[in-house]
Amino acid sequence: MNLLLDTHVLLWWLADAAELTTPVRDAIRNPDHLVYVSAVSIWEIAIKQALGKLTAPRALPEVIRAQPFEPLQMTIDHAFKVAELPNHHRDPFDRLLIAQCLVDGLTIVTGDTDIAKYDVPTLLC
């Protein structure tokens, strides 16, 4: 299974937060799974930090690169896919992550039940 971490799941992982269930932790740690972190999540974190709405680890680039995650870039195909999505969710970052999952055949790891309204494989925390 190939996983894409939602932004809040990435932050929970980095903080070793209690919100991550044991099955989710096990799925992320499973060496048979490729786990991706999207450039979209890094963009979201940067914007929310600049607005004072989010605290993230210092030296975030180094912290992220030290994780056993694969980077996932944003592509034009991902952007086109967003236009096809029903309007179940208004958060543009989440909509981009959903589009990436659909285009690239990934399972999104999230605690957001609204994401499960899309026809996208979902692993809920």
**What's the whole-number mean pLDDT along residues 29-57?**
93
CB atoms within 10 A of CB 69: 19
Domain ranges of the chain: 2-124
**What's the whole-number mean pLDDT along residues 95-109?**
98
pLDDT number for residue 116: 87
Selecting from 3.40.50.1010, 3.30.2390.10, 3.40.50.150, 3.30.565.10, what CATH number does the domain 2-124 have? 3.40.50.1010
Listed in sequence order, the residues at least 6 apart from 66 whose beta carbon sits closer than 8 Å to its beta carbon are none
pLDDT number for residue 122: 97
pLDDT number for residue 89: 81
